Structure 1
Amino acid sequence: MLLELLLASVLGFIIYRFVYGDKEETLPLDDGWWGPGSRPSGREDESIRPFKVETSDEEIKDLHQRIDRIRLTPPLEDSRFHYGFNSNYLKKVLSYWRNEFDWKKQVEILNSYPHFKTKIEGLDIHFIHVKPPQLSSGRTPKPLLMVHGWPGSFFEFYKIIPLLTNPKSHGLSDEHVFEIICPSIPGYSFSEAPSKKGFNSVSTARIFYKLMQRLGFQEFYIQGGDWGALICTNIAQLVPSHVKGLHLNMALVLGNRYTLTLPLGQRVAALLGYTERDIELLFPFKEKVFYSLMRESGYMHIQSTKPDTVGCALNDSPVGLAAYILEKFSTWTNSEFRDLEDGGLERKFSLQDLLTNIMLYWTTGCIVSSQRYYKENMGQGFMNQKHDRMKVYVPTGFAAFPCEIMHMPEKWVRTKYPKLLSYSYMARGGHFAAFEEPELLARDIQKFVGLVEQQ
């Protein structure tokens, strides 16, 4: 299957080059209405309203009762995380969740940054907006939009925000100080879910661009991984003149002339100019690419075809939801964690932080709408949408974390992002970069922005 995907990608790239060449083009900045019913007459309410995360004793009591009634299937002997989330370790997670995890305290932490909502294209869009402490005279912060993915949330950025808004107090250079805007993708956490079919990454990009305009930003930086990487890429394709720089820690760039060479082996890769580090991260091909993608793509097939079916189970069981999501925070952080009895979860994260992210899915009941995003974006096939075939002509920086699900060499990234100013082999880290390695990511963002500002 992967070879077919690679072949299709290369074929799509050849067609793209023949039809489109290297001409710079943008996506049309259309409009949409994603709320229930028809678009009402009159102007949409553009007010920005303060918002607070809240909870109740009833909400916590219901959670505890559902945890108390759980039925678990014993794992196979010596199965570790090879069959998914190990239920023996899950018992420890549930004990902590039921008896030690303090959701009310975590709600206070969530509210430590300012939250807001505003209506855009019929949807109530949630975001946090964090301004830096007072800067010296003549200095202004750089606006930075940071976008999460699945199964993450805006909470992924809580540890990196102070490193970017107040870097000097955390031992980083304050040459560049940022004003951070972190929205929730519609259908995730506190952003209203679309009521209509067809809401994809381009629709999201347009809404987030409108959000930045509404906040008064005509030029801004953007950063993302997972779906956030695609959404930010689409923003750059929609309104390149408004994007000062695009920083990514993931990219969907399989459609290029280099990918077909991977099965030919390391020697061919070396002859084609892959670096030693690229070869380390891509080979042996069967293990590092083929088997890895096969192991980690089952969820994607389900969510790209029948998201509502599995969503019924996950939305009804907090334990099932936790197992389904936390398993990704194990193997996507480091594929070797599947060889451990506990999935290595607490090597990189605290149970408190992991369960806070789970609670954002559970308390808002958003797992189904978050999974539908896969069907809207991938249900029509690969390389079938215009933005898949378009290059991005804004200054770009890329952070290649070594334990990402699939390594993307610089030569791959540059085929889609020809204005790549910065490509960094990161020292450690996986898929959830801002959550796992906030300082490394913050430093790379600082480096990239410095290069843009020098131009």
Structure 2
Amino acid sequence: MNQVIEKTGAGAPAIRPFEFRASDADLADLRRRIEATRWPDRETVNDSTQGVQLATIQKLARHWATQYDWRKTEAKLNAAPNFITNIDGLDFHFLHVRSKHENALPLLMAHGWPGSIIERMKIIGPLTDPTAHGGGASDAFHLVIPSMPGYAFSEKPKTTGWDPVRIANAYIELMERLGYVEYGVSGGDWGAIIVEQMALKTPSGLIGVHTNMAGVVPPEIDKALARGDPLPAGLTEEEQRACDQIAFAYKHIGYALLMGDRPQTLTGFADSPVGLAAFMLDLYPKRYEMLARSIDGQPEGETPDDFLDNITLSWLTNTAISSARLYWENKTPYFSVKGVTIPVAVSVFPDELYEAPKGWSEKAYPRLVYYNRLPKGGHFPAWEQPELYSQEVRAGFRTLRMQ
């Protein structure tokens, strides 16, 4: 199953090693800007209903300016094999971490927004070297973790057209360029949408999909929820709960509406690191509350440093606006059925934007090979609950490895 054909020689596309080191001047400028932040008035309520609370963002900013160490994260990034290759006229950055275990399954892992390759760093060890993390050698993966166009170290598109469908095509080309004859894909957030678009192309090498943000909502229900129209009768309790969650999500995705309509208006995020951090902190209420508790010193799966790693990467690469444009480019629905016919594994985390019902999942994915509900974790489980997430990826592909 896991034969690899190396594409080398004079005619092969170039794959170049890559390393990043921020300048001392850029890091000093970042600290200066954080310390010079002009703060708004405190919110007029005692909760987060008006958005990111002043005390929370000020505490995060103090930590960022005085204790946070980007060089530690930079060293971890550079310790992984980093590469650049040009696909469809654009330079793509990706991590390519091969397992030491024989017959490891190649797996492309697609990130989302406001994430990056950073959100996948915690799971590299557990998935490439499972014997050192409570698994067996038969659960090993070779990992390919690309940065989306306009994110982190991938090139920023200078023309329109880089939507999830085009990114999916580029990711298929990347796996073929690396010589992988058979491989799997896994994604969350935008990554979930992109890997489903890859599946719709049915490339010969793609054996299955793992997702933690399943696209299983019947289109007519998704449209009704987006418009606030009445729902059809006969929904199960599980389906009604999912509808309530999606309706809530649609009321709290102002960030997506703004980026989808006027991304270039967010110019301030290229000038104010604290402004950028506050915007990315307030993704949706459950995630904000989890991060706020973590910033306040209550242990959570995602630490303040985890969050700052990703914000600092976005700041140093000046990709806040270029990454936001993906929302403007997108014409694909977030949650509704796409028509995927290849094998799919679904992991349902309780604090996801919505918990995909099993019945909907079985209808949306006629070849559903795995479905599991987890006790904890949210929209970015690889960040928040890396052990659980790694177990889910292993379990999701275990059936497919035996075929």
Residue in 2 that maps onto 1:202: 165
Residue in 2 that maps onto 1:302: 258
Residue in 2 that maps onto 1:226: 189
Q: Does 2:351 align with 1:403?
A: yes
Residue in 2 that maps onto 1:421: 369
Distance 2:12 2:106 in 1: 24
CA contact under 8 A between 2:294 and 2:303: conserved in structure 1?
no
Structure 2 CA distance for partners of 1:313 and 1:124, relative to 1, 3 Å: same
Residue in 1 that maps onto 2:33: 66
Alignment of 1:424-443 (within 5 A): 424-443=372-391
Structure 2 CA distance for partners of 1:64 and 1:257, relative to 1, 3 Å: closer
Residue in 1 that maps onto 2:342: 394
Residue of structure 2 aligned with 1:373, choices 321, 326, 344? 326
TM-score (norm 1): 0.79
399-408 or 411-420, which deviates more: 411-420
Structure 2 CA distance for partners of 1:341 and 1:434, relative to 1, 3 Å: closer
Give the letter for the 2:196 counterpart: T
Q: Does 2:307 align with 1:354?
A: yes
Residue of structure 2 aligned with 1:282, choices 242, 257, 269? 242
- Matched residue of 1:85: which SS? coil
Number of aligned residue pairs? 391
- In structure 2, the gaps of 5 or more residues are 1-9
395-404 or 444-453, which deviates more: 444-453
CA contact under 8 A between 1:332 and 1:431: conserved in structure 2?
no
Structure 2 CA distance for partners of 1:259 and 1:48, relative to 1, 3 Å: closer
Structure 2 CA distance for partners of 1:319 and 1:122, relative to 1, 3 Å: same
CA contact under 8 A between 1:189 and 1:364: conserved in structure 2?
yes
- C-alpha root-mean-square deviation of aligned residues, in Å? 2.8
Distance 1:118 1:44 in 2: 14
TM-score (norm 2): 0.89
Residue in 2 that maps onto 1:27: none
CA contact under 8 A between 1:82 and 1:338: conserved in structure 2?
no
Alignment of 1:34-433 (within 5 A): 46-133=13-100, 135=101, 139-256=102-219, 268-270=234-236, 281-282=241-242, 285=244, 288-294=245-251, 296-310=252-266, 312-328=267-283, 331-333=285-287, 337=290, 347-378=300-331, 390-433=338-381
443-452 or 254-263, which deviates more: 254-263
1:2-52 alpha-carbon deviations (Å, 9 max, x no partner): xxxxxxxxxxxxxxxxxxxxxxxxxxxxxxxxxxxxxxxxx9982111111
1:249-304 alpha-carbon deviations (Å, 9 max, x no partner): 0023333466689998999433xxx55xx66x437x3xx4433430x211111111
CA contact under 8 A between 1:224 and 1:249: conserved in structure 2?
yes
Give the letter for the 1:269 counterpart: L
Distance 2:276 2:80 in 1: 26
Distance 1:244 1:202 in 2: 19
Structure 2 CA distance for partners of 1:238 and 1:65, relative to 1, 3 Å: same
Give the letter for the 2:205 counterpart: H
- Tell me by how many angstroms 1:337 deviates: 4.8
362-371 or 247-256, which deviates more: 247-256
Give the letter for the 1:155 counterpart: I
CA contact under 8 A between 1:240 and 1:393: conserved in structure 2?
no
Q: Percent identity?
A: 34
- Tell me by how many angstroms 1:349 deviates: 1.6
Flag the structure with larger Rg.
Answer: 1
CA contact under 8 A between 1:81 and 1:342: conserved in structure 2?
no
